[in-house]
Amino acid sequence: MANKIPRVPVREQDPAIRATNFEEVCYGYDLEEATLEASRCLRCKNPRCVAACPVGIRIPDFIAALHEGRLQEAADIISEDSSLPSICGRVCPQESQCEGSCILGIKSEPVAVGKLERFVGDWKLEHGAPVQPAAVRNGRKVAVIGSGPAGLACASDLARMGYEVKIFEALHKVGGVLVYGIPEFRLPKERIVAREIAQVERLGVGIETDVIVGRTVTIDSLLDDEGYDAVFIGSGAGLPRFMGIPGENLNGVVSANEFLTRANLMHAYDKAYDTPIYVGQRVVVVGGGDVAVDAAISAKRLGASSVSMVSLESEAELPAYPHNIADARDEGIDFQCGWGPVRVEGTDAVSGLAVKACLSVKDASGAFRPSFDEAQTRTIPADAVIFAIGQAADLDPFAEDVAITPRRTIETAAFTFETSRPDVFAAGDAASGPASAIQAIAGGREAAFSMDRYLRGGQILANRAAVRETVDKDRLPGEGVLLSPRNERAVTDAPGFGERRRGLDLHAVLAEGMRCMTCGAKARIAYNDDCMTCFTCELRCPAEAINVHPFKEPLPRTLEIHCED
């Protein structure tokens, strides 16, 4: 059976070697490895992975095409829903999305969907058919603010629909968080990001850098003076957050946003660039998320002798994804979990970080409300402190154009991403708060769909369920399966030496008999019109006593028992 094949391991740089460079950690699959891993997919009739994917990629279909050697078709299937497969295959949190919903993950390891998407995306960049712009333009113009995942996705879809699209980027380089926030060792910039963006440009999308909308130009000037019919805001969340504790203004204190921007966008890791960056020898990174992990690993690779991560959360509660935590541990990052910063120590420059023990991060209702043991404190020696406790969107340039929520995000309508202004739409971190790249892409695509309907005079919300069909959770294979309780014999107060435990009646006998897993007999299940061939029964059986028969044929014999009251 396909599900008996173990997950194909992926090749990576040795931790001792990669700690000295900024080259990509994961090498990815070659064709043989990708084909073998693709053979593990069960191709479920109601695939949970598709329902869990924010953009609804037809995952079993592209994996089937890959397995059968039809790589261009696999790339085309992914392109229906994602314009950035090489990027998403590297940075998306598959553990909590497609792979986290894979049926195989119940008793074994899920299919490596992310690694397969990466393989197909990389193959497309090297060998795929060239991207062609829309054959017919409809005469409408759309401005896209921001060239991050949301902006790129929105621009791509609108260009395919026939719109003239132009992206306005505030920085000197295109890509948003993909170029300034994610380290080179996780996402190569020239080899992957630049080439994915080139695919977007081939669709006919124009890009202008060094344009700060709200200052260089305004939304009103784009609409009234430059002839754009609608505007999409995908400016991301690039402002750092600090705690407001004493000592944050000391030399040696920096935000992860600035630290990573200098390392990534400004190539501080490359000696060919003269980018100033202060690393220090003893670095403390405040935070337990993926940005904190990226900052910690980057500091170590930039020359720090010791790097510690201080987090409120316990080790089991760390919000960073497990594979990123494992990478950090492999490279010698020290995790100081369950501690909250009190102040940054030092006179002119940092000398340490004073912390106190964190007893809990959330209250009984689940709200973020840390509690501390004020008596349990200590100081961690440091000459550099990097704060990685979250990001916020810079919404001041748009405050007079669209409504802003109390959470400092752009107020948008659920699912359609309309703002308070009819001709302006928004998605990505600026609208949702910090989230994953694939969630930003999903928002950008839905916004593009809404903008198309708005500009054509259609009903924006009508029949939106038809955009991407998903399976209701209560219909997913394996959901709601209940274990039948054991049918116990009744105990009576029989006098004398009378039998106290009575036997089971016929109904109870039949019900108890149905609980038997026929261990050793290896029960076979033949396909029929009601079987979805999801393999849930085989995978969930603790005794591995069920074998889903691979052919449509009747079982050798059928036992029918009729019960009458």
Q: To 5 degrees, how large is the angle CA 62–CA 67–CA 70?
A: 65
Lookup result for tokens 């043991």: 373
CA atoms of 521 and 112, how far apart (whole Å): 33
- 253-255 vs 384-387, strand pairing mode: parallel
Distances (CA, A) of 193 to 188, 309, 337, 406, 544: 7, 29, 34, 34, 45
- List the alpha helices (DSSP H) in 397-436: 429-432
Model pLDDT, residue 528: 52
In which element (H, E) is residue 160 found? helix 149-160
Q: What is the pTM of this model?
A: 0.80
CA atoms of 232 and 145, how far apart (whole Å): 6
Per-residue pLDDT of the chain in tens (565 residues, 90 and over written 9): 445 788 999 999 999 899 888 999 999 999 999 999 999 998 887 888 998 999 999 999 999 999 999 999 999 999 999 989 999 999 998 988 999 999 888 878 999 999 999 999 999 999 987 777 776 889 999 999 999 999 999 999 999 999 999 999 999 999 999 999 999 999 999 999 999 999 999 999 999 999 999 888 999 999 999 999 999 999 999 899 999 999 999 999 999 999 999 999 999 988 889 899 999 999 999 999 999 999 999 999 999 999 999 999 999 999 998 889 999 999 999 999 999 999 999 999 999 999 999 999 999 898 999 999 999 999 999 999 999 999 999 999 999 999 999 999 999 998 899 999 999 999 999 999 988 899 999 999 999 999 999 999 988 888 775 444 444 444 444 444 446 778 887 767 656 555 656 778 888 888 887 777 555 454 555 555 556 666 667 666 665 666 665 544 444 433 333 444 4
Model pLDDT, residue 499: 61
What distance lies between CA 349 and its chain's CA centroid? 38
| Backbone angles phi and psi of 285, in degrees to 5 | -105, 125
Long-range pairs for 351-356 at CB < 8 Å and ≥24 separation?
A: 351/381, 351/382, 351/383, 352/379, 352/380, 352/381, 352/382, 353/284, 353/286, 353/310, 353/379, 353/380, 353/382, 353/385, 354/378, 354/379, 355/310, 355/379, 355/380
How many CA atoms does the CB half-sphere of 437 hold within 13 Å?
27
Read off the DSSP letter of residue 190. I
Give the gyration radius of the chain's Cα atoms. 28
Model pLDDT, residue 529: 52
